Structure 1
Amino acid sequence: MAALRAAKKALRSEIKLKVAALDPEEKRRQSLLVSHKLFKHPKYVSSQRIAVFLSMEDEVCTQEIIKDMFRCGKSCFIPRYESSSSHMDMLKMDSLQDMETLPLTSWNIRQPAGKDESREEALSAGGLDLMLMPGLGFDLFGRRLGRGKGFYDTYLERCSRHPKGKPYTIGLAFREQLCTEIPVDDHDVLLDEVLYEAQ
């Protein structure tokens, strides 16, 4: 277990350096490419209820994806993380304007306030069709390296108990985040697919 933790930690540092070396223009270019790949993806086209993350500096930018979801009339759910635990909810957003008014967290990302009970949580109603996943690293077997908090693995475990079942999961990656193999344990949920700029 300790060896696995150490391997993950080392890999996180290595990938962070690679992504930090990308210039903003290159990040923007790859983000747009990945977004346009997603727009044509049959799972995205057919999904109505979609969970998406609000991207940080070292993640594929999801801004265009969120705009497209509202444009296409899809239901958009974003994460609210509880920093004291590995609990996360996916809460429904009404519009881009709604999203822009959300408070900023210590991670400098917007999320609904902890006391905001007015929003629909995805699993309290119709579940999710598709979940777009962030990560620090990915391999082509669907293994994902997160930030070590377990938010997404715990949430997908909850999804699997929902009548609708687990949503289809797609990781969004920069080419520099692809690894030959990511070390995982039994708690790590595999992704259905990883979208990135192919060579």
Structure 2
Amino acid sequence: MSQADARRLQKTRLRNELRARRRALDAPLRQRAAQAAHARLMASPEVFAARHIAAYWAHGNELSVAGALYEKVSQGAHVYLPRVNASDRLDFVDAGALDALEPGAFGIMEPTGPACDLSRIEIVLVPGLGFDRRGHRLGSGRGYYDRALAGVTHALVIGVGYDWQLIDDELPEEAHDRPMDIIATPTRWHVPDQASSLHTSKE
């Protein structure tokens, strides 16, 4: 078996394990985790000050960041959510007041309107099935976020997940993977070694 095949098998096994664990989460636990994540994100000086923030709308049992997004909108900030375009890539679209989202690809709620210029984005909140302590992310396997963020070097990219989604094992990495600058869970920030100069403090 080649190294590439071994990495694919390892990722498939991890995805199945992490998806099963996420499916098993009950509604009260998800709600408590979302409330804690909301408080943690908004306590970050970088997130609080951002005027242009790209994020995601939770699907299934993903950790919801909706509370933080509504608060950013109430501050007058622009929130951009992903939409799968005709080329099967992600655009980020101004979601306005978050009250006009429509079901899109894979049943995920998406905004309408033109794609935004990514150069204005200051913060990106990224979901994942798992994150390792080096900042590497395990996604759904479709590569949408890796492609969308390939040229985003000016923004702070924050991986968001439940506490157990920050795993001790090192995830298999590919050349195209985009590591997170920092990882937020309901109870802590984790700053990977290569991002230790970021201002958001570890807890």
Same fold (TM over 0.5): yes
| 1:31-180 pair list within 5 angstroms | 31-82=34-85, 85=88, 87-97=89-99, 101-112=100-111, 118-123=113-118, 126-159=119-152, 165-180=153-168
8 Å Cα contact 1:77/1:122 also seen in 2? no
Change (3 A) 1:187 1:167: same
Q: Flag the structure with more relative contact order, 1 or 2, with Cα contacts below 8 A and sequence separation at least 6.
A: 1
RMSD: 1.8
- Shift of residue 150, structure 1, vs aligned partner: 1.0
For 1:7-65, what per-residue CA distance to the aligned partner results, in whole angstroms no more than 9, with x for missing partners?
11100001111112221110111111111100011210221110010101221112212
Q: Structure 1 residue 107: deviation in Å?
A: 2.1
Q: Which segment drifts farther, 74-83 or 3-12?
A: 74-83
Instruction: Determine whether 1:187 maps to 2:176.
Output: yes
In structure 2, the gaps of 5 or more residues are 189-203
User: Which letter does structure 1 place at the counterpart of 2:126?
Assistant: M
Q: CA deviation at 1:73?
A: 1.0
1:89 is paired with a residue of what secondary structure? strand
Calculate the TM-score normalised by the size of structure 2. Answer: 0.83
Bigger share in strand: 2
Distance 1:33 1:140 in 2: 21
**Count of residue correspondences:** 184
User: In 1, distance between residues paired with 2:15 and 2:37?
Assistant: 22
In the aligned structure 1, how far is the partner of 2:35 from the partner of 2:117?
A: 27
Calculate percent identity across the aligned residue pairs. Answer: 27
Structure 1: give runs of 5+ residues left out of the alignment.
Answer: 160-164
Q: Distance in 2 between matches of 1:44 and 1:72?
A: 12
Conserved? CA contact 1:16–1:58, under 8 Å: no
Aligned residue identity for 1:30: A
1:147 to partner: Cα distance: 0.4
